[in-house]
Structure 1
Amino acid sequence: MPVDTTAGHIEDTKLADALSERYLAYAMSTIMSRSLPDVRDGLKPVHRRMIYAMQQLKLDPSAGFKKCARVVGDVIGKYHPHGDASVYEALVRLAQDFAVRYPLVEGQGNFGSIDGDNAAAMRYTESRLTEVAKALLEGIGEDCVDFRPTYDGEEQEPVVLPAAFPNLLANGAAGIAVGMATSIPPHNVGEICAAALALIRKPAMTTVELLKHMPGPDFPTGGSIVEDADAIARAYETGRGSFRIRSKWEVEQGRFGTWQIVVTEIPYQVQKSRLIEQVADLMEQKKLPLLADIRDESTTDIRLVLEPKSRGIEPAVLMETLFRATQLESRFGLNMNVLGADQVPGVRSLKDVLQAWLDHRHDVLQRRSANRLAAVNRRLEILDGFLAVYLNLDEVIRIVREEDDAKAALIATFDLTELQAESVLNMRLRSLRRLEEMEIRDEHAKLSAEKQSLHDLLEHEGLRWKRIAAEIKDIQKTFGGGPLGKRRSLLADAPVEIDVEAALPVERDPLTVILSQKGWIRTVRGHGQDPEALKFKEGDALGLSVECYSNDRLCVFATDGRAFTLRVGDLPRGRGDGQPLRLIIDLSNDEDIITMFPVEDTRKRLLASSTGRGMIVAESAMTAEKRTGKQVLNLKDRESAQVCVPAIGDHVLVIGQNRRMLVFPLDQLPEMTRGLGVILQKYKDGGLRDAVVFAADAGVAWPDPARTRSFADLKDYLGKRSDMGRTAPAWATRKPRA
């Protein structure tokens, strides 16, 4: 008996190699078998197996319903080796008309709601396939797609469905794999079919031409798509982008000049109950100053009532405040990352996705036609045998009664094939009547004509594409009309910007922003604060202070060249210590704050780095209300931002660490929104010490704000930008700029 040498065998492997091998296997399994849909039928494996299992259970649209627990049991028992909860969730989603544009499952019972309510347990709900799912399965028993063994090898499952219905674009898809994701919005099937027919007529059609037939997504919950046409075209061309969706609303007039807004459609995948909670929370935080109340009067249709605080408010302005702050406006991402026919994932354009579906339909048609031709040939062979023996039935009866090997005798006597002889022997006695012979001849003639038609179809590609176009027209006629096929999402132009700030009630409380040396920020009421009266933590002191108003935007400029925008009204108030600034903005401990100032859109600033490069930037271009701020001044290695001063005047004064000073006209500096800047002053060693902008007729109050130097005092230092300058006078180096 041979000895098993593998038992107890240990093989040394590097942990990194073992982990990478196993993680790659997991990643591929997630990508191929869970998260990304197939470009041909638009389904993930769980959905494909579910639909096929329901077809095997004969849950056709005309059949009765069966318990969802029965369906889930068949799916996980035969095809999909995963938990029943995840399979049932997938089934429920395919039945929700607010989640799927063209449901593949018809549910009976509680299948959840747009409020986010869960479906009832699978033992209480029932389901069957819809006509859309039936179209996806059409011809699956005619050898038009490949089958493979299931996970236990006891059953067979389709690799892909025939997909007469363009499911990928019609219902969309979403999924997150390992290192990649997919996000495809639903579209209108009538428009998809129109685009596919146009692509058949003109294979060289561009994306822009396709969008004339299929202009954009069509979400099951409706809403308005307010995206620029160029952005939509670019998204479909590259396979990546996003669509901006707004709720549909209308104004209802009341008595005595009062009015209210009624929202009838909300963006796709937004839960109505959470939306109402979000609006209520913002009202409690007083971040929606124009809104007085929100009510949910929805039944089967959505009806959210919004009441303004004053009838003098413009409805468009009120809705603009809500669009900016709530999920009444949302974005749906486009990332057409799908598995191709070769099972390789990739981001595809709209034309690529449509062409892949058409190529699949072409392959299905060829395989169905070849399968049908083989069946017709077999039947014709049998009918030829029947017709051959009908001329001498008495001899057939004699052979059957007297010969030991009737089959061989029939073959020898009538020159039959084995199939023909076997069919004759299996013939029923009642088929020997004369009428049956006539029916056989009629069937033979019809099949002969069908055979010729199938031959022509398989030999001529043009005929095949005509057949595919006819099938697509049937799909367009069946599903593109009626309530199901009517477009639900309105396609609108990008909205005109509304100045909401001008319509909001203004509270201009005078405040002073205090930033301590250790980075604690707060505001105190009023201007003209006495620095000596301000209190700080032990070991801390005043760093910067700025007088502004509660409705101002405060720009904080740091040594890493980033500008951060804060709303003064949102900063902590009172006589306490305030809050660490680094908890409000994303600034590392290695960086410092250069300055902070209230933003004025009409004002500009001079920004300069430690190496003496600078530029002019509008304060409006420095705003960015996010934690990460906005990179305005780009920096090189071992370089930092050094200067951020108002650009009020017509000349720039620059002084370096080498004690050389230069004055040049301001118009020699470019105005930019972001960049490295240009050289202000050349240095053999050291870098920039300070820079200031001033008006020639007013002189410069620098470095001592209490002493103004006239332009005559600076004429000797006048030059061109990027000059080295001349040795600075004693007054320019005696005291740093205040």
Structure 2
Amino acid sequence: MPDDLTGTIQDTPLATALSERYLAYALSTIMSRSLPDVRDGLKPVHRRLIFAMRQLKLDPGSGFKKCARVVGDVMGKFHPHGDMSIYEALVRLAQDFASRYPLIEGQGNFGNIDGDNAAAMRYTESRMTEIAAALLDGIDEDTVDFRPTYDNEDSEPIVLPGAFPNLLANGAAGIAVGMATSIPPHNAGELCEAAIHLIRNPGTETAKLLDFVRGPDFPTGGELVEDRETLRLAYETGRGSLRVRARWSRSDLKGGMWQIVVTEIPYQVQKSRLIEQVAELLAEKKLPLLGDIRDESTEHVRIVLEPKSRTVDPDMLMASVFRATALETRFSMNMNVLDADRTPRVMNLAEMLQAWLDHRHIVLQRRSRHRLAAIARRLEILEGYITAFLNLDEVIRIIRTEDEPKPALIAAFSLTDVQAEAVLNMRLRSLRKLEEMELRREHKTLSAEQKALNAMLDDPAKRWARIEAEIEATRQKFGAGPLGARRTSIGGAPNVIEVTAEAFIEREPLTVILSDKGWVRALKGHAVADAELKFKEGDRLKTLLRCSSVDRIAVFATNGRVYTVRAADLPRGRGDGQAIRLLIEMGNEDEVANLFVADAAARYLVANDQGRGFIVAGSELVAEKRTGKQILTVKPGEEAKFCLPVGGDHLAVIGENRKLLVFPLDQIPEMARGAGVILQKYKDGGLADAKSFTLAEGLTWRLGDKTRTETRLAEWLGARGQAGRLPPSGFPRTGVFGASVPGDGAG
């Protein structure tokens, strides 16, 4: 290559040029911008901010300086990027809702949880916190390496000594090229306890460390709703997704009303945007259980949620809100960091803590060696001083008489060059006798410290004991008090609360009216007078059913199908109602046999008009579609007769021929669907009615407004499928048993 490249043109394939430049950009982004160092948990911009504030003497006990001064020093000396990006990084380090343990103490407007921006840097002031000072502790003692700044006019640390577990305590987030990082903040006290356990028990697995580090500890609090197994997998692999919910409580009001008060929201959720989101969903009627939302926050978060009505279940209300809004978010964990060799990789919890401990071990060794070198230099000088005091008169004579006293002192007392220089620079006031005693005392103290440091460097157990003591001091300082108290509670995986359509309906009593010609309507309340029941000309009452607005009504038709209608969907008012065929897809040739509220825990007898039937579970009598669900199979010329609840131990059936048969209930099979078995045989006609009862209590039927019970039933007892005998005297001429309660929906 020529020395002067001016005007030189090189032919390079475009793919090669692009790959080289893109690789350089990618490495710069990964190494110098987006990924934190596992040792101090800082990205370059954060490290440079703290180092520049140290040079400006912005210690925790000093006064504040304008943020513009800090940003200017960082940009001019260390970080050749835009001033706004540097200021945004500074602001984030000072926000107590963004950083679990702020590294910078701000004075002025540094933004808020609503998402409002901080004031301009010329208005705000800042200084370091105690935690930032802990990260810098020992930086002047050769504990870390330095490198030249971008203009080679100064030097900056590659990494900070890091006496605080900053990476896991404050977390990190960043997007590099081809990779990203997302580390949640944790409780510093728990991290220190886990690190101490790791020192005492090297090689401890991540699962055991979770006994100490219970999970993330976000600065905005909230509740982590994940089970321990999910946490274990996330921390063992370094990747996972964790659910965080807002913290809420129910507050009772007058008149039976209540409201939900939200006091903590998930991490990195802007409160104002959250309120807007909920308000938009309310306007779109996508939160039918929620009536209103208010923001009553001051310095502390207070969001009030009002239910649509007081009958709404609070847990179901919050389940619907969690599902649709940012009151529940997922934090994606991706613990991708630069290791001690500056290589990006995903680490688990144990590896991160061990990397921090290894860094602290190196820092301790380098600090000790630096201190030993300083002690050696001072001891050398002290020995020269002591020699001079022991030969004070001769030293004075040499200095007064010799033209070159330094070589003469070296030759006379075997001093080193450093010792001779120190003696020559000694002040006259230091020649007093007390000074000799102080020198000997200092020499003794430094010799003892030198011996202790050498012993520690020679014994790994002593080094780790020293590190353990330092970490315990960090735990006592930062892991206790209001700052160190855990903010995010750890809860197990919540029970799945199914938000049903009934939850959106206010519960109230209803009376459902079904006419012979299939017109249905619902009247409010259960005390419905007969005078209120008016029908079209030629129509009359078929079924009167008392239920609730949240009930699902089972409609059993003559085609053997069961349909489900919501009581709340029925037309209200005093009119004629609506044709039931408009609510369900039932053929014009089919009729309603029964209308009732199915009990999932009960059993029902379904039968056709020819006396065939079976028992079906109540849970089977629910149809999700308008077309219904086939329960009883009917042949051409047959019709389903009824679907009645059964209980007791016997069944009484009576045919249109007025023949009564009583047989044990267990002779009827229980099925989900089918044609059934023969209940009673007929020469003429078919099945008229059936009723289950307990044999010991007797068979009851209705005569007008009265009832009669027959206990002597041996004459009619038989087996299923027999013809039976004429009923006892006094049996209704209608040939049916009659409903035990008027209007129970039996038809």
1:191 positional shift: 0.1
Asked if 1:200 corresponds to 2:163, the answer is no
Asked if 1:373 corresponds to 2:366, the answer is no
Please name the residue that 1:239 is paired with: 238
Q: Give me the whole-angstrom Cα distance separating, in 2, the residues matched to 1:455 and 1:233.
A: 41
Q: Give me the whole-angstrom Cα distance separating, in 2, the residues matched to 1:4 and 1:461.
A: 54
1:129-152: CA deviation from partner (whole Å, max 9, x where unpaired) = 000000000000000000000000
Please name the residue that 1:42 is paired with: 41
Q: Report the CA distance shift for 1:4/1:337 in structure 2 as closer, same or farther (over 3 A).
A: closer
1:57 positional shift: 0.6
Which amino acid in structure 2 is aligned with residue 236 of structure 1? Y
Please name the residue that 1:277 is paired with: 276
Q: Report the CA distance shift for 1:453/1:402 in structure 2 as closer, same or farther (over 3 A).
A: same
Please name the residue that 1:360 is paired with: 359
Structure 2 contact 38–355 (Cα < 8 Å) conserved: yes
Asked if 1:504 corresponds to 2:503, the answer is yes
Please name the residue that 1:403 is paired with: 402
Q: Secondary structure at the match of 2:240?
A: strand
Please name the residue that 1:459 is paired with: 458
Structure 2 contact 248–260 (Cα < 8 Å) conserved: yes
Which amino acid in structure 2 is aligned with residue 462 of structure 1? A
Q: Report the CA distance shift for 1:648/1:334 in structure 2 as closer, same or farther (over 3 A).
A: farther
Q: Secondary structure at the match of 2:272?
A: helix
Please name the residue that 2:214 is paired with: 215
1:248-275: CA deviation from partner (whole Å, max 9, x where unpaired) = 0011111011101100000000000000
Asked if 1:414 corresponds to 2:413, the answer is yes
Q: Secondary structure at the match of 1:251?
A: strand
Q: Report the CA distance shift for 1:318/1:464 in structure 2 as closer, same or farther (over 3 A).
A: same
Structure 1 contact 54–129 (Cα < 8 Å) conserved: yes
Q: Report the CA distance shift for 1:5/1:255 in structure 2 as closer, same or farther (over 3 A).
A: closer
1:402 positional shift: 1.3
Please name the residue that 1:256 is paired with: 255
Q: Give me the whole-angstrom Cα distance separating, in 1, the residues matched to 2:269 and 2:385.
A: 66
1:243 positional shift: 1.0
Which amino acid in structure 2 is aligned with residue 274 of structure 1? R
Which amino acid in structure 1 is aligned with residue 248 of structure 2? W
Q: Report the CA distance shift for 1:294/1:348 in structure 2 as closer, same or farther (over 3 A).
A: same
Q: Give me the whole-angstrom Cα distance separating, in 1, the residues matched to 2:502 and 2:458.
A: 71
Q: Give me the whole-angstrom Cα distance separating, in 2, the residues matched to 1:696 and 1:319.
A: 43
1:396 positional shift: 1.2
Structure 2 contact 312–503 (Cα < 8 Å) conserved: no
Pairwise mapping of residues 379-394 of structure 1 onto structure 2 (< 5 A)?
379-394=378-393
Asked if 1:77 corresponds to 2:76, the answer is yes
Please name the residue that 1:479 is paired with: 478
Q: Give me the whole-angstrom Cα distance separating, in 1, the residues matched to 2:504 and 2:472.
A: 57
Which amino acid in structure 1 is aligned with residue 484 of structure 2? G
Q: Give me the whole-angstrom Cα distance separating, in 1, the residues matched to 2:2 and 2:187.
A: 66
Pairwise mapping of residues 78-97 of structure 1 onto structure 2 (< 5 A)?
78-97=77-96
Which amino acid in structure 2 is aligned with residue 478 of structure 1? K
Which amino acid in structure 1 is aligned with residue 209 of structure 2? L
Please name the residue that 2:337 is paired with: 338
1:657-690: CA deviation from partner (whole Å, max 9, x where unpaired) = xxxxxxxxxxxxxxxxxxxxxxxxxxxxxxxxxx
Please name the residue that 1:157 is paired with: 156
Please name the residue that 1:513 is paired with: none
Q: Give me the whole-angstrom Cα distance separating, in 1, the residues matched to 2:174 and 2:479.
A: 27
Which amino acid in structure 1 is aligned with residue 192 of structure 2? C
Question: Structure 1 segments of 4 or more deviating over 4 A?
Answer: 2-5, 646-649, 695-698
Please name the residue that 2:286 is paired with: 287
Pairwise mapping of residues 28-177 of structure 1 onto structure 2 (< 5 A)?
28-177=27-176
Q: Report the CA distance shift for 1:5/1:68 in structure 2 as closer, same or farther (over 3 A).
A: closer
Q: Give me the whole-angstrom Cα distance separating, in 1, the residues matched to 2:11 and 2:148.
A: 35
Q: Secondary structure at the match of 1:343?
A: coil
Q: Report the CA distance shift for 1:469/1:4 in structure 2 as closer, same or farther (over 3 A).
A: closer
1:648 positional shift: 10
1:186-240: CA deviation from partner (whole Å, max 9, x where unpaired) = 0000000000000001112111100001110000000000012101000000000
Structure 1 contact 172–185 (Cα < 8 Å) conserved: yes
1:647 positional shift: 13
Q: Give me the whole-angstrom Cα distance separating, in 1, the residues matched to 2:165 and 2:365.
A: 18
Structure 1 contact 88–122 (Cα < 8 Å) conserved: yes
Please name the residue that 1:12 is paired with: 11
Name the Cα RMSD after superposition: 1.8
Please name the residue that 1:492 is paired with: 491
1:4 positional shift: 5.8
1:696 positional shift: 11
Which amino acid in structure 2 is aligned with residue 226 of structure 1? V
Please name the residue that 2:313 is paired with: 314
Gaps of 5+ in 2: 507-627, 632-672, 677-747
Which amino acid in structure 2 is aligned with residue 348 of structure 1? M
Please name the residue that 1:574 is paired with: none
Asked if 1:426 corresponds to 2:451, the answer is no
Structure 1 contact 173–183 (Cα < 8 Å) conserved: yes
Q: Give me the whole-angstrom Cα distance separating, in 2, the residues matched to 1:41 and 1:105.
A: 16
Which amino acid in structure 2 is aligned with residue 272 of structure 1? K
Which amino acid in structure 2 is aligned with residue 369 of structure 1? S
1:176 positional shift: 0.1
Q: Give me the whole-angstrom Cα distance separating, in 2, the residues matched to 1:115 and 1:232.
A: 30
Q: Secondary structure at the match of 2:250?
A: strand
Q: Give me the whole-angstrom Cα distance separating, in 2, the residues matched to 1:3 and 1:143.
A: 42
Q: Secondary structure at the match of 2:217?
A: coil
Pairwise mapping of residues 517-666 of structure 1 onto structure 2 (< 5 A)?
none
TM-score when normalising by structure 2: 0.67
Q: Report the CA distance shift for 1:436/1:349 in structure 2 as closer, same or farther (over 3 A).
A: same
1:3 positional shift: 8.7
Q: Give me the whole-angstrom Cα distance separating, in 1, the residues matched to 2:303 and 2:462.
A: 53
1:334-363: CA deviation from partner (whole Å, max 9, x where unpaired) = 100000010000001100000000000000
Q: Give me the whole-angstrom Cα distance separating, in 2, the residues matched to 1:410 and 1:60.
A: 45
1:6 positional shift: 3.5
Structure 1 contact 317–503 (Cα < 8 Å) conserved: no
Q: Report the CA distance shift for 1:3/1:500 in structure 2 as closer, same or farther (over 3 A).
A: closer
Which amino acid in structure 1 is aligned with residue 320 of structure 2? T
Q: Give me the whole-angstrom Cα distance separating, in 2, the residues matched to 1:365 and 1:3.
A: 49
1:631-658: CA deviation from partner (whole Å, max 9, x where unpaired) = xxxxxxxxxxxxxxx9999xxxxxxxxx
Which amino acid in structure 1 is aligned with residue 441 of structure 2? D
1:388-431: CA deviation from partner (whole Å, max 9, x where unpaired) = 11012121111111111111111011110011001111111100
Q: Report the CA distance shift for 1:647/1:262 in structure 2 as closer, same or farther (over 3 A).
A: closer
Q: Give me the whole-angstrom Cα distance separating, in 2, the residues matched to 1:288 and 1:696.
A: 42
Gaps of 5+ in 1: 508-645, 650-694, 699-738
Which amino acid in structure 1 is aligned with residue 75 of structure 2? I
Q: Give me the whole-angstrom Cα distance separating, in 1, the residues matched to 2:347 and 2:477.
A: 28
1:440 positional shift: 0.5
Which amino acid in structure 2 is aligned with residue 72 of structure 1? V
1:75-97: CA deviation from partner (whole Å, max 9, x where unpaired) = 00101111100000000000000
Q: Report the CA distance shift for 1:16/1:460 in structure 2 as closer, same or farther (over 3 A).
A: same
Please name the residue that 1:704 is paired with: none
Asked if 1:297 corresponds to 2:265, the answer is no
Q: Give me the whole-angstrom Cα distance separating, in 1, the residues matched to 2:630 and 2:343.
A: 59
Q: Secondary structure at the match of 1:218?
A: coil
1:503 positional shift: 4.0
Please name the residue that 2:441 is paired with: 442
Structure 2 contact 59–133 (Cα < 8 Å) conserved: yes
Q: Report the CA distance shift for 1:503/1:358 in structure 2 as closer, same or farther (over 3 A).
A: farther
Q: Percent identity among equivalent residues?
A: 68
